[in-house]
Structure 1
Amino acid sequence: MEQTGSRKRKAPAIEGAAEGASSSRGSAAAAAGEGSPLPPKKQRLPALRRSLVPCLLGRAVGARGRAGSRGFEGRLRGYAVQKLPELLQERPLALGTLNKVFASQWLSTRQVVCGTKCNTLFVVDVQYGHITRIPLLQDRFPEPARAQPGCGIHAIELNPSKTLLATGGENPNSLAVYQLPTLDPVCLGDRQGHKDWIFAIAWLTDTVAVSGSRDGTVALWRLDPHVVRGSTAWHSDAGLPVYTHIRPRDVDPIPRSSTNPGNQKVRALAFSGKNQELGAVSLDGYFHLWKACSTLSRLQSVKLPYCRENVCLTYCDDLSLYAVGSQAHVSFLDPRQRQQNIRPMSSREGGTGVRSLSFYQHIITVGTGHGSLLFYDVRAQKFLEEKASVILDSSQEPTGRKLRLTCGRGWLNHDNQWVNYLGGMNEFPIALYTHCYNWPEMKLFVAGGPLPAGLHGNYAGLWS
């Protein structure tokens, strides 16, 4: 089995990764006076939790241990999901001179891992703003110098148990896997894999992942459980961590469109654990579906209603629904319905595009290419609207204006490209390429950068 050493570094501690609390009660056997027992100790009230859902739950069903049913808690969480966006406030995060954050995932209550266009993998502490860079994994046999620069890191995904992280390597064609919470390297998929940049990753199980590339293929990778369990103990004679080099178990090309056979690049993936199906979006305007088990078995390909800039995809288990983001719309697909009952949603953001999507219950969050976040209720088929008051218990009617959270301007490198694109002006569109929720803490991390490809800059913010 081939192995490679990586540079030695101090891995960032993942705070809250193994949080737990235990308590024990003692009994008093002493007596006061004529053997009378001590008065019983006053029972301590439970510690306050800074979260909207426990607060509402306590108010609704009583704070002294009367937990509501799971169904009630689900309905309450759904109510909080609808109320949360209008309560969020932005706190900008400084990322220095990094260029365009394309991917992000929460690692703990304070730490988010991010990937950038400049091929940097880092962890940011959202409380203090500290940034820790993570070394990228290198191919066993480095390729000759490429004619064009790499695209950077477009995907970061955690496996279901949150023990492994999959992303791109130093070569953006390769799949890198790290152990959590230490971020030690486990393996690199650089043998007989993709021949072009990886744009999307999805985990099927704790040890099986799928990657999608702009070479027009999806690749299934199966990790050896023994390698995963023993990875943190492997070191070279020099004391450097060691990782293995793996090859995909299955590679399947997507069907070529008759209209544009050269543009069948895989842009986004989403996995349905309930149906064991993998969805993919290609830049030629098609949605593809596979049965995903030990191998990939293609089920169908569907022409999308909007074919320009289909760059993001998400799946909702509650509704068994895929959502695809395009230049100015979000289209909804249920593979089991011949006729789609949910009409596409128009972002109405001046054609700057839908750049990131996420589902939580029946609410979909939309990150646009114009620096704003929109929130759409799929069941009601309408956007969440602004209220005259942001007080949680307010009964005031909606104003009729679409609820829109506008992000800050971020940082822009004032170089020659800035002069050529904007003529030296400071107003420029910020694209929100990634966002991710930490629902237990009711926090939303949002990041991106300037929309024009030639501009160098970044944006990151914590909404809470």
Structure 2
Amino acid sequence: MAPLQTGNRKREVPAPQEAAAGSSSPGSAAVDADGLQTPKKPKRLAARRSLVDYLKGREVGARVRAGLPGFDGELRSFAVRKLPELLRERELSLGTIDKVFASQWLNARQVVCGTKCNTLFVVDVQSGQIMRIPLMRDRGPPPAHAEPGCGIHAIELNPSKTLLATGGENPNSLAIYRLPTLDPLCLGDRHGHKDWIFAIDWMSDTVVVSGSRDGTLGIWKIDPDVFQSSIAQHSDAGLPVYAHIRPAEVEDVPRAGTNPGNCKVRAVAFSAKRQELGAVTMDGYFHLWKVQNTLSRLLSIRLPYCRENVCLTYCDELSLYAVGSQSHVSFLDLRQGHQSVRHLCSREGGTSVRSLSFYEHMITVGTGHGSLLFYDVRAQKFLEEKVLVSQHASPRPTGRRFRLICGRGWLNPDDLRMNNFGVLGELPNALYTHCYNWPEMKLFVAGGPLPSGLRGNYAGLWS
């Protein structure tokens, strides 16, 4: 690999006398106040720095020179482009749980996951050990004719990583846990949503938003100190040791005239930089609110591809939303005076988009066909496979999209026979969730079979 240079030319640093005089020739001498000539200091050439030089210097604690302010960014950009080619899979065994829908890194070796079978657990990616987390229960009994639960579709950590938000035993409820202990803190139940929670995001360390299938957004304000006193009183009375809360605000999502009953909130994403909240609904719309003391709706856009819009992510650096649908990823740039929507086709052999994430200028696409794709937003193209033509030449792009193909995971064989799905090899896993641990260059990916009638799971650590 050729060294990564910080520029094409060497820079000359003028001596202090030269800077004052402005037009001294290279061989001239400076004259001081007494009229004596003093030899001028020779000019020094700035050292050329390669990627190897930089990494070696960082190992011994050397500081980045002031003359290279963009080198860290250049290094990150290079790592983002190269990492997918270096990743190798190690499958993790999850037993017989059904479909992992959500995941987040807790620390360097633990990932917390939520499943369709309503299980919340932590997996140690080094040892493979699994620890289940008890779910919080509503105060009242469930309705007599309640639908079967949909499981846990969202898990999010607040910016300081001191609180975790997810679903409760009742998928309509919002559960908050303390970190790093995962002790239960509070539950938003009877005064919150009337249907399943599909999406969660933190707007600050103490304010979290939830999006529900009932077509509403709930804004919750979390004060751990207030809840702690309430928990102490309940504990003394022998009641559950977590507080029950109600939302500070409930916002109805606009209903389209063509399909007013299908405004189910499927995904949300918050822009801290612009203080805006985006949401995607199942009727094929993207909605945007300004976040101040309350939510103030800015606009609603009909998406160009409206089937199965199930995931949404946002990149603060690029001011760009990305929406994943059955066959495309749509990019929305909604800055004032610069509103545009463009899309790219993600379809490959029945592929659908099931999970999305941004890092720097790279978007990772988890598909319903068991593969991961990588799209470079700046270059406006997917990463391509490369082939080594000769030992003395760099690998050349083939024109085919680079993909990481995930393993088979576990499938319940009884379901296969009952549903006549054929052999195991014909059923790749849908990658419903993935999350990066960038400091250690690791990627956790999880999911399960796409058909709802099949029970199964997949989890893998790519490093």
Q: TM-score, normalised by structure 1?
A: 0.83
* Deviation by residue 1:96-148 (Cα, 9 ceiling, x = unmatched): 00000000000000000000000000000000100000000000112224443
1:242 Cα offset (Å):
1.2
Please give the secondary structure, in 2, of the residue aligned with 1:82. Answer: helix
What residue in structure 2 maps to residue 289 of structure 1?
288
1:185–1:241 contact (8 Å) kept in structure 2: no
Say whether 1:268 aligns with 2:303. Answer: no
What residue in structure 1 maps to residue 63 of structure 2?
66
Distance (Å, rounded) in 1 between the aligned partners of 2:286 and 2:372: 25
For 1:83, give the aligned amino acid.
K
Q: Map 1:443-462 onto structure 2 (within 5 A).
A: 443-462=442-461
Please give the secondary structure, in 2, of the residue aligned with 1:291. Answer: strand
1:184–1:232 contact (8 Å) kept in structure 2: no
Please give the secondary structure, in 2, of the residue aligned with 1:270. Answer: strand
Distance (Å, rounded) in 1 between the aligned partners of 2:119 and 2:227: 24
* Deviation by residue 1:236-284 (Cα, 9 ceiling, x = unmatched): 2488871110001111111111121111100000000001000000010
For 2:64, give the aligned amino acid.
A
1:87 Cα offset (Å):
0.3
Distance (Å, rounded) in 1 between the aligned partners of 2:362 and 2:230: 39
1:418–1:424 contact (8 Å) kept in structure 2: no
The runs of 5 or more residues in structure 2 that have no matched partner are 1-50
Cα-Cα RMSD: 2.6
Distance (Å, rounded) in 2 between the aligned partners of 1:448 and 1:338: 39
Distance (Å, rounded) in 2 between the aligned partners of 1:373 and 1:230: 46
For 2:62, give the aligned amino acid.
G
What residue in structure 2 maps to residue 75 of structure 1?
74
For 2:276, give the aligned amino acid.
E
Please give the secondary structure, in 1, of the residue aligned with 2:342. Answer: coil
What residue in structure 2 maps to residue 355 of structure 1?
354
What residue in structure 2 maps to residue 125 of structure 1?
124
> Structure 1 residues 342, 55: CA separation in 2 closer, same or farther (over 3 Å shift)?
farther
Distance (Å, rounded) in 2 between the aligned partners of 1:255 and 1:311: 18
1:351 Cα offset (Å):
3.5
Which protein has the larger Cα radius of gyration, Structure 1 or Structure 2? 2
What residue in structure 2 maps to residue 298 of structure 1?
297
For 1:378, give the aligned amino acid.
V
For 2:379, give the aligned amino acid.
A
Q: Map 1:1-150 onto structure 2 (within 5 A).
A: 57-59=54-56, 63-68=60-65, 71-150=70-149
What residue in structure 2 maps to residue 33 of structure 1?
none
Distance (Å, rounded) in 2 between the aligned partners of 1:383 and 1:56: 30
Distance (Å, rounded) in 2 between the aligned partners of 1:345 and 1:273: 26
Please give the secondary structure, in 1, of the residue aligned with 2:261. Answer: coil
* Deviation by residue 1:121-179 (Cα, 9 ceiling, x = unmatched): 00000001000000000001122244431000000000010000000000000000000
Distance (Å, rounded) in 1 between the aligned partners of 2:118 and 2:393: 46
**The 10-residue stretch of structure 1 (422-431 or 112-121) with the greater mean CA deviation from structure 2:** 422-431
1:294 Cα offset (Å):
2.8
Distance (Å, rounded) in 1 between the aligned partners of 2:406 and 2:418: 23
2:289–2:296 contact (8 Å) kept in structure 1: yes
What residue in structure 1 maps to residue 32 of structure 2?
none
> Structure 1 residues 413, 223: CA separation in 2 closer, same or farther (over 3 Å shift)?
same
1:416 Cα offset (Å):
4.0
Distance (Å, rounded) in 2 between the aligned partners of 1:421 and 1:300: 46
Say whether 1:378 aligns with 2:377. Answer: yes
Distance (Å, rounded) in 1 between the aligned partners of 2:420 and 2:273: 46
Q: Map 1:312-323 onto structure 2 (within 5 A).
A: 312-323=311-322
* Deviation by residue 1:426-454 (Cα, 9 ceiling, x = unmatched): 42131000000000000000000000011
For 1:65, give the aligned amino acid.
A
Q: How many residues in Structure 1 have an aligned counterpart in Structure 2?
A: 411
1:306 Cα offset (Å):
0.3
1:74 Cα offset (Å):
1.9
1:185–1:231 contact (8 Å) kept in structure 2: no
Q: Map 1:58-457 onto structure 2 (within 5 A).
A: 58-59=55-56, 63-68=60-65, 71-227=70-226, 236-237=235-236, 242-336=241-335, 343-388=342-387, 395-416=394-415, 418-423=417-422, 425-457=424-456
**The 10-residue stretch of structure 1 (292-301 or 165-174) with the greater mean CA deviation from structure 2:** 292-301
* Deviation by residue 1:33-84 (Cα, 9 ceiling, x = unmatched): xxxxxxxxxxxxxxxxxxxxx9784147784513355632122111100000
1:415 Cα offset (Å):
1.5
1:234–1:241 contact (8 Å) kept in structure 2: no
Higher relative contact order (CA 8 A, sep 6+): 1
Distance (Å, rounded) in 2 between the aligned partners of 1:246 and 1:86: 46
What residue in structure 2 maps to residue 6 of structure 1?
none
Distance (Å, rounded) in 1 between the aligned partners of 2:162 and 2:217: 23
Q: TM-score, normalised by structure 2?
A: 0.83
For 1:401, give the aligned amino acid.
R
1:290–1:296 contact (8 Å) kept in structure 2: yes
1:152–1:172 contact (8 Å) kept in structure 2: yes
Please give the secondary structure, in 2, of the residue aligned with 1:181. Answer: coil
Please give the secondary structure, in 1, of the residue aligned with 2:80. Answer: helix
1:162–1:180 contact (8 Å) kept in structure 2: yes
Distance (Å, rounded) in 1 between the aligned partners of 2:261 and 2:124: 41
For 1:111, give the aligned amino acid.
Q
> Structure 1 residues 240, 91: CA separation in 2 closer, same or farther (over 3 Å shift)?
farther
* Deviation by residue 1:163-200 (Cα, 9 ceiling, x = unmatched): 00000000000000000000001100113110000000
> Structure 1 residues 425, 460: CA separation in 2 closer, same or farther (over 3 Å shift)?
closer
The runs of 5 or more residues in structure 1 that have no matched partner are 1-53
2:194–2:214 contact (8 Å) kept in structure 1: yes
Please give the secondary structure, in 1, of the residue aligned with 2:262. Answer: coil
> Structure 1 residues 250, 400: CA separation in 2 closer, same or farther (over 3 Å shift)?
same
> Structure 1 residues 338, 258: CA separation in 2 closer, same or farther (over 3 Å shift)?
farther
